[in-house]
Amino acid sequence: MQKLSNNPWLGPLLSGLLTFFAVCHINFLVSWICYVPLFIAITGQSKKNVFRRVVVFGCTFSILAFFWMIPGAQRFTGSSMLYGLGVFLISTLFYTLYCVAIFFIFLTFKKKEKKFLSIIINALLIASLFCLAESLLSLISIGLPWFDVHSGNGLAENLYTIQPASVFGIHILSFIVVFLIT
């Protein structure tokens, strides 16, 4: 755990990798731990360090999740790989800025005290921000299904954990995952 908090790259890289497998490959077990290295890496850090670590996380996830665009665009259009590379870079930048915006808002409204109530309020805040941001991202990116990323996707693998989604939608699963991880 000490290595995760001291190394500014290891936690966000590992979290980006785990989040990719949890969200894009629908992995139930990984969903419960995917954000843990990121939250450990940003705990107690300055806004500048949090920004850097979230950029590493966003880029890691984006590179893994959107890499298919480079060869896919070349095969689909029949032109050079540059078109795919351009779309890949734009998508990576967009998703990374999306992640940065979530954590910037969280750091702005986060309670600084170490009391139990403050910890619960911060967990509710970040889980709510994730849900709100995911639904906003879905609205903004209509027609671009690769941005339909939900933290609760991994819970779809389990018959019991998917039940709340039948009533409340996918966002309740995202809320549960982020709240319990925090």
pLDDT digits (tens, 9 = 90+) for 151-163: 988 898 888 988 9
Round the average pLDDT of the chain to a whole number and report it. Answer: 90
d(CA 74, CA 84): 6
The predicted model scores a pTM of 0.90
Query: What is the average per-residue pLDDT within 81-102?
Result: 93
Hey, what amino acid is at 110?
A: K
Contact 20, 67 (CB under 8 A): no
Q: Could you read off the pLDDT of 128-145 as tens digits, one per residue? A: 999 999 999 999 988 888
d(CA 134, CA 153): 12
> Which residues form the domain of 175?
2-181
d(CA 53, CA 107): 13
Domain count across the chain = 1
